[in-house]
Amino acid sequence: MDDGRRERIFKAAEIYCKVQMTAEEAASSSPGKTGSDVDHSIADILPRKRRLAPGKSGDENTNTSQRHTELATTKHRQKRQDKCPYLGTINRHLLDFDFEKVCSITLANSHIYACLVCGRYFEGRGVNTHAYIHALEESHYIFMNLHDCRVYCLPENYEVEDASLNDIAVRCFVKLYISLLQLVLKPRFTKDYVANVDSTIVYGRALDGADFIPGCVGLNNLKNTDYFNVVIQAICSVASLRNYLLLLETEKIQPPDHVITSLVELVRKIFNPKNFKGIVSPHEFLQTVGVASKGVYKIGNHGDPAALMSWLFNRVHSRLKSKRTDASIITKTFGGELMMSSLDGKDWKESIVPFRMITLDVPTAPIFKDAQERNIIPQVPIFQLLQKFDGRTEHTSSTGKVCRYRMWKLPQYLIVNIKRFTRNNFFLEKNPTIVSFPMKNLDLAPCMDERSPERDGQDARYDLVCNICHQGSPSAGSYKVHVLHAPTGSWYELEDLLVTSVLPQFVAQTESYIQVYKRQSSDRGAAPEETAESVNVYG
């Protein structure tokens, strides 16, 4: 459905609802008013060419229309309590379904209804509930259940159903009107749509007329939550994980997990071209993560995106892994293996260690200044840092062991964490060294073990799809992310709500902190086999 048709549907439904409200008020204030006067206003919104039946004169058609109108008016009065004249009071500009679904008064999280007039959330819809009282005090009558998307009119407490409308054309208008509201609250995608996300150029248009790119939308910073935003954008840049989340049926997760459910809803909103706004607020997801992490990652606190990403991957893996194979979408997407040789006395012992993220150590920055009394910012290529995995360079692990590393199994997506921050006894220090890296064809073949089964016959080259960088001081700085828009091949910089197009050369000169590479041999945008197709058709 294009944007023009969507707007025409909204306007037609709103016109009908306003006419209904006027008719109801006129009927109540003028008891002697005929049914033809009421239904004649409804007919004014329909195309004029449909009023005259083919082969009949205007007088004959008028008489027939009056007879049908009288009959319809009788039925209208009989079923008047089932019809809602208040749909025209819905204010789409005030609706924001990104907030946590809790009552604005009691903070309860069950049986929550959204007022479609002012956008506030209330608990329940029965007598003496907060939604019921709000309807009486504020004269806001239309509410939507945030769980099943059903619409009710309070305080009469009846469901707004399109089947109660006696005109088939207007019935379609209101049905689509409510359906589009439901698509904004809980968007759904088909398997075919998701499979073409990386190959089809799609643009959306907000209610204010601004265009946006689904998948490259800004995220609200809810006070020091920039590290949350860059992790969310990085997840959206990983095609296999993104496709899995778009099609995941969260109702089948047992026991239910609020972190995964809110993450799925957030990713769907980011890729929804029918959003009312060109931005998305991650408020609900941040609240659930704050509760699940026991306050380690919460709104208002600075955090490390690498630590948050590891915590989130562990959470998703533990809740969605197979009981038979212990595999999940996380291990299939990011799971790799290292051949680690550790020194035990005088002998080297070899073992295969799994990983989801590799860490590269940055050389220490010089403490002296140049001749002009300026700080020297060195620059090193990423290939120099990858010598850590050549099998000869020795490193001391966190447990104090001397180790050597070689790549044994390469993942579909490689996450590289460039270690810039170190904490001494007093404060946090940042290494400003610039790490230069290729945007395409990062070859890891020199890092592979000679005995690896992937040594021959598989491509070990990677292309960059996401780059998280840090700017500013360690304590007061912020994070931003560069993502590749696959359908156009363009790069975009996302810094909270700000979305700008950038050149690839600019991305390579930033203070990169986390990089996400995609293996060239992996299928572009392929969804995992265990993904179940959504039962609801999107669009």
The reply to whether 462 falls in a domain is: yes
pLDDT of residue 43: 36
Task: Give the end of a domain, one of 313, 334, 357.
Answer: 313
Residue with structure tokens 């016109």?
15
CA-to-CA dists, residue 526 to 199, 281, 379, 534, 535, angstroms: 11, 28, 37, 16, 19
291 shares its domain with 379? no
Pair 350, 476 in one domain = yes
526 belongs to a structural domain = no
Go through the chain and tell me how many residues it has. Answer: 539
Long-range contacts made by residues 154-160, C-beta under 8 angstroms, separation at least 24? 154/125, 155/127, 156/81, 157/125, 157/126, 157/132, 158/81, 158/82, 158/84, 160/84, 160/87
497 and 373 part of one domain: yes
Do 285 and 178 share a structural domain? no
The half-sphere exposure of 462 on its side-chain side, counting CA atoms within 13 A, is: 20
Please give the Cα distance from 524 to 376 (Å, whole number): 41
- What is the pLDDT, as a whole number, of residue 533? 35
Q: What are phi and psi of 514, to 5 degrees?
A: -135, 135
404 bridge partner residues: 341
Is the domain of 14 the same as that of 98? no
Domain end: 261, 279, 313, which one? Answer: 313
Do 122 and 3 reside in the same domain of the chain?
no
What is d(CA 287, CA 294) in angstroms, rounded to the nearest whole number?
A: 11
Q: Tell me, what CATH number does 139's domain have?
A: 3.30.40.10
Q: Residue 280: which domain range?
A: 191-313
Same domain, 103 and 243: no
Q: How many CB atoms lie within 10 A of CB 178?
A: 22
Pairwise CA distance, residues 1 & 299, whole Å:
37
Listed in order, strand segments (DSSP E) in 230-316 are 279-280
Q: What number of H helices and E strands is found in the chain?
A: 14, 25
- Residue 345 in any domain: the answer is yes
In a domain, 300, yes or no: yes
Question: Rounded to whole angstroms, how far apart are CA atoms 111 and 131?
Answer: 10
Structural domain contains residue 319? no
Residues 375 and 359 in one domain: yes
Confidence at residue 358, expressed as pLDDT on a 0 to 100 scale: 94
Q: Are residues 441 and 363 in the same domain?
A: yes
pLDDT in tens, the chain (539 residues): 555 655 655 555 555 555 555 554 554 444 444 433 434 333 343 333 333 344 444 444 445 445 444 434 433 333 334 467 787 788 877 887 777 888 888 888 888 898 988 889 998 888 888 898 898 888 898 888 888 778 888 888 888 864 433 343 444 455 555 566 666 667 888 888 899 999 888 888 887 888 899 999 999 998 889 999 999 999 999 999 999 999 998 888 888 899 999 999 999 999 988 888 888 889 889 999 999 999 899 888 888 999 999 999 999 999 998 888 889 999 999 999 999 988 887 788 888 999 999 999 888 876 666 555 566 778 899 999 999 998 888 888 777 788 899 999 999 999 999 998 888 777 888 888 889 999 999 999 889 988 888 877 678 899 999 999 998 888 788 999 999 999 999 999 999 899 999 999 899 888 999 999 999 975 444 444 444 333 332 33
* Chain centre distance of CA 19: 37
Same domain, 344 and 274: no
Three-class SS state of 450 = coil
The answer to whether residue 535 is domain-embedded is no
Q: Are the beta carbons of 335 and 353 closer than 8 angstroms? A: no
Let me know if residue 109 belongs to a domain. yes
Same domain, 372 and 480: yes
Tally of structural domains, the chain: 4
DSSP letters of 212-248?
E-TTS-EE---SS-HHHHHHHHHHHH-HHHHHHHHH-
Here the CATH number for the domain that contains residue 393 is 3.90.70.10
Residue 12 lies in a domain: yes
Please tell me the pTM assigned to this model. 0.71
Regarding whether 432 and 333 lie in a shared domain, the answer is: yes
